[in-house]
A and B are shown apart, each in its own frame.
Chain A
Amino acid sequence: MAEPAPAPPHESAWLHVAGAAPYIDDLPERADCLHAAIAQASVAHGRLTKIDIAPALALPGVVAVMLAKDVPGINDCAPIVAGDPILAVDEIVYAGQAVAAVAATSLDAARRAASRIKIAIEPMPAIVTVDRALAVGSFLTPSQTMTKGDAADGLARAPRRLEGTLRLGGQDHFYLEGQVAMALPREGGDMLVLSSTQHPTEIQHLVAKALGRGFKDVVCEVRRMGGGFGGKETQAAQTACIAALLAWKTGRAVKLRLDRDVDMTLTGKRHDFRIDWQIGFDDAGRISAWSVDLAARGGCSVDLTDPVVDRAMFHADNAYYLEHARIAGHRCRTHTVSNTAFRGFGGPQGMCAIEYAIDEVARALGKDALDVRLANLYGHGSRDVTPYHQRIKDNILPELMRALETSSDYRNRRRAIAAWNAAHPWLKKGLALTPAKFGISFTNTFLNQAGALVHVYTDGTVQVSHGGTEMGQGLNTKIAQVVASAFALDFDRVKVTATVTDKVPNTSATAASAGTDLNGKAAADAADKIKRRLIAFGAEHFKVPPDRIRFTAQGIEVGTRRLTFAELVGQAYMARVQLWDSGFYATPEIHFDRERQRGNPFYYFAYGAACSEALIDVLTGESRILRADLLHDVGNSINPAIDLGQIEGGYIQGLGWLTAEELWWDPAGRLRTHAPSTYKIPTARDLPEDFRVAFWPEANHADTIHRSKAVGEPPLMLAISAWLAIKDAVAATAEHRLSPQLDAPATPERVLLAIEDLKRRAKLPAEARS
């Protein structure tokens, strides 16, 4: 294989900085284009008794109003299990649910009309929180339990035990480009849908079903998204379906762009969790038993909650060998927005559980948490079986963590911080170094497939289409690099097209960090087929053995001759050689038996670790990250600049989730933080003052594209170190004699409450303090 060319910048970088890279809302509108808006329910649970659309229809510019009863096909945009009506039928199951949609000649008219639709709802009792759902047994699907050994027995025998309850908040995706779609009717009632989606095939299917048509009648196209993060995996569907339904009803093009408040109240988010844990260990800090109940707020419908909680369960070991483990996952049904995929897909919540427990173990033993972590890591060749009975063969964490311990100067800084804290009563510092091990592959095995289409044109330029979507992660750049390197071409000779369902069909969502792994292999497969034909042609035409034909950066060597790529393909074309082909890839070696919770769900693991140093203000609870050292494993990086960006961006997004972003529902089940005025994502000021990011220099052990590793999700979990560094700083307010309870997000309010709680406990008699 040819050497990959030096990494180019993002394929659209020039266009982006020039303001010339169009998103859907930037595209020219057809002359007949209408604008749409949604009318939402304001009650969390109730019976829909009346919808009065007359006041909306009376407004100038209003062309159509759509209700559930007007849907010609199936009124459901759920990905797997039905239960997500596009427009509410008779029961309202969350505040913010879409009830009606309006199309009008201007956006302003559409929004005014939507606000005038009168929706009468007879309220019913609402289950809002996980606690309530657990208490009344409200579940979306049956709970699952994964077992290895005998956790109850292991806990009973363990020399020491701890237990606790941890709460982790959800997270809004806050992609800068909100949900948007434009539907364009074509001849014979066919529909073209431009959607900002991570899953164009699913949009194609759901729009076709809603319209009562075949999949062949609908095309979905996505050129780029202004961010996705999982929020456009299933959540783009409703917007696309509503635009398509209104386009069907009016026979005109329709664009629907949600404004921020509608987007935040209508669409699902990261699952918040209640986690009840028990851990058994010895005086050296060695864990022998782990039992945990992971209960997620699934919201009003199944959506992706099943696989999200599965992934939480798969990651409740994080990086640690557990002789006895019982890991249970509960999918709570609540009258809130249906929670969904978000970068990490449950994995971060599972990891937080055990990282928090280990922090507690270390505090109980008076040990440095890093030493407890190192003592419990998976081994090489022994102590290497996970709670789902997959053997880990590519573990690099013992070496990686030791390397980070040294490069971050962990031990010296630990001492320096202790001295600093002793001298500063109103400011406290904390430090934590945590690992992340993230399983790569969709845990639903059938999703691990991809297709691509490569066209070599007679001028020697190449076009690639694949099933993945570009949301800023640089997938198209990497795919272009893969194809360019297959033919030893310059990067700018290769163009990756928009993702369109009529080019590559039956695709999986761009998710699970698997975009490059799957589509890169499929594109390489297609390029390889063409290359083999070119070599066969060249061998025959120039009368040289096939192994004397080489693709090099200087051109094609054919025996002693040298041709340009364009010359070779031009001659091949004249000899009637097929210059385009499709490629396909299915990840090998993976399987999982969900009934028994056993198998090999992951093709390989991506690893990383981070060391974060936090500073808190004891009087205000505010925190800052002073320094963060990240050491992350991307295998052989296809594009180091892009991978670095994923690591940095992932850490900061995780930092937002665990320290700042607070979704707050009132007791009636209405989300009260539904705009950036109250929902705070990180800004440039939240960047660690000293931010050091490095790659772990080792190729992927598994046979992936160019031996690279998936990088989209894993770095988010490096931010767990920041949250636990804040916990460490809080513990410093009580001279580390007591361990604070610090749920996430660790907002200033929570930090202050944790400090107050320590003060209260410090006054209690010793035996009542824990």
Chain B
Amino acid sequence: MTITVNLTVNGQKVTRQVEARTLLVQLLREHLDLTGTHVGCDTSQCGACVVQVDGVSAKACTLLAAQCEGANVLTIEGLAKDGKLHPMQEAFREHHGLQCGFCTPGMVMSALDIVRRHPSPDEATIRKELEGNLCRCTGYHNIVKAVAAGAKAMRG
């Protein structure tokens, strides 16, 4: 069965005909060519697919596209403005919060959600809140530093 979904992605209104069982991550990657949102596990464990839906972080491999009807979705591609990185992206680059980079988009999106809930997160909070995002390369040390620095930059 195909259905029509209407939503806003990175500020653009989009309408697509999709199979009813299409996941949000499939809509983004396969129908909208937004491949910065990665798939690491397909089962809601790794966090590589984290995006924002109406301002709140969500694992795009576990949401149906249909559940996002009318929603405002923000992906990693929507963060940089006019070739300028978002302060959280800049912090990950600056603080070497990445190695292979596969987890990075999900990490950055989760980091924004941490800042939404804790504008000045301390290290312990960041570590706890990042538990849903796996990284196999970095050992997390620089990711934690990047989130703290990004949060600070966002406070201005």
Contacts and interface: CB of A to CB of B under 8 A. Distances in A.
Interface string A676-693: 110001111101000101
Contacts of B75: 19
B96 interface: yes
Given A17-B89, A472-B137, A23 B102 contact: yes
B142 interface: yes
A687 B127 contact: yes
Nearest to A19: B36
B117 interface: no
Contact of B103 (A176, A645, A693): A176
Specify which of A17, A649, A650 lies most central, judged by the most chain B CB atoms within 10 Å of its CB. A17
Interface stretch (B1-9, B41-49, B52-60, B62-70): B41-49
Interface string B87-112: 00110111010111111110010000
B126 A19 contact: no
Contacts of A676: 41, 43, 45-46, 134
A589 interface: no
A651 B93 contact: no
A177 interface: yes
Nearest to B77: A19
Contacts of A684: 126-128, 130-131, 133, 135, 140, 143-144
Given A16-B98, A683-B131, A684-B127, A651 B139 contact: yes
Given A652-B139, A684-B144, A21 B43 contact: no
A26 interface: yes
A687 B85 contact: no
B94 A226 contact: no
A467 to B, nearest CB: 19
B17 interface: no
A297 B127 CA distance: 36
Contacts of A473: 99
B96 A9 contact: yes
Interface in A22-43: 22-23, 25-26, 28
B134 A227 contact: no
B136 A18 contact: no
A112 to B, nearest CB: 12
B76 interface: yes
B100 A176 contact: yes
Nearest to B103: A176
Q: Is the interface of B mostly helix, strand, loop or mixed?
A: loop
A642 B96 contact: yes
Interface in A632-652: 641-642, 644-645, 648-652
B93 A645 contact: no
A685 B142 contact: no
A225 B100 CA distance: 7
A568 to B, nearest CB: 32
Contacts of A506: none
B141 interface: yes
B50 to A, nearest CB: 11
A176 B93 contact: no
Interface string B10-48: 000000000000000000010001111111111101101
Among B89, B90, B104, B137, chain A packs the most CB atoms within 10 A around the CB of B137
B32 to A, nearest CB: 13
A17 B98 contact: yes
B75 to A, nearest CB: 7
B74 to A, nearest CB: 11
Contact of B134 (A12, A14, A19, A176): A176
B136 A175 contact: yes
Contacts of A650: 139
Contacts of B34: 19
Contacts of A21: 101
Given A19-B77, A226-B102, A653 B136 contact: yes
B139 A649 contact: yes
A349 B139 CA distance: 21
Contacts of B143: 684
Contacts of A28: 33
B154 interface: no
Nearest to A260: B41
Contacts of B133: 683-684
B142 A10 contact: no
B77 A20 contact: yes
Nearest to A18: B80
A174 B134 CA distance: 10
A145 to B, nearest CB: 36
Contacts of B93: 9, 13-14, 16-17
Contacts of B80: 18
A18 B76 contact: yes
A229 interface: yes
Nearest to A654: B139
A150 interface: no
Contact of B138 (A26, A648, A677): A648
A740 interface: no
A176 B40 contact: yes
A644 B38 CA distance: 26
A21 B35 CA distance: 9
Nearest to B22: A108
Given A13-B93, A16-B104, A17-B85, A177 B40 contact: yes
Contacts of B136: 173-176, 227, 229, 653, 681
A188 B45 CA distance: 44
A648 B102 contact: no
Contacts of B45: 675-677
Of A26, A642, A649, A652, most buried by chain B (CB within 10 Å of CB) is A649
B134 A20 contact: no
A46 interface: no
B139 A683 contact: no
A677 B43 contact: yes
B77 A18 contact: yes
B39 A25 contact: yes
A437 interface: no
A223 to B, nearest CB: 12
Contacts of B139: 645, 648-653, 682, 687
Nearest to A686: B140
A684 B142 CA distance: 10
B51 to A, nearest CB: 10
A23 B99 CA distance: 14
B97 to A, nearest CB: 8
A148 interface: no
A259 interface: yes
Contact of A645 (B92, B96, B105, B127): B96
Contacts of A259: 42
A285 interface: no
A471 interface: yes
A641 B99 CA distance: 11
B35 A226 contact: no
B130 to A, nearest CB: 4
A474 interface: yes
A651 B140 CA distance: 11
Given A18-B77, A676-B45, A12 B101 contact: yes
Interface of A: 9-10, 12-23, 25-26, 28, 173-178, 224-229, 259-260, 471-474, 641-642, 644-645, 648-653, 675-677, 681-685, 687, 691, 693
11 contacts: A19-B34, A226-B100, A471-B100, A472-B100, A648-B142, A649-B138, A676-B43, A677-B45, A682-B139, A685-B130, A687-B139
Given A473-B99, A683-B134, A693-B141, 12 more contacts: A9-B96, A16-B92, A19-B34, A19-B75, A178-B40, A227-B136, A260-B41, A260-B42, A642-B96, A652-B140, A684-B130, A685-B128
Q: Which 6 A-B pairs have the closest CB atoms?
A: A19-B36, A472-B100, A226-B102, A16-B101, A19-B76, A652-B139
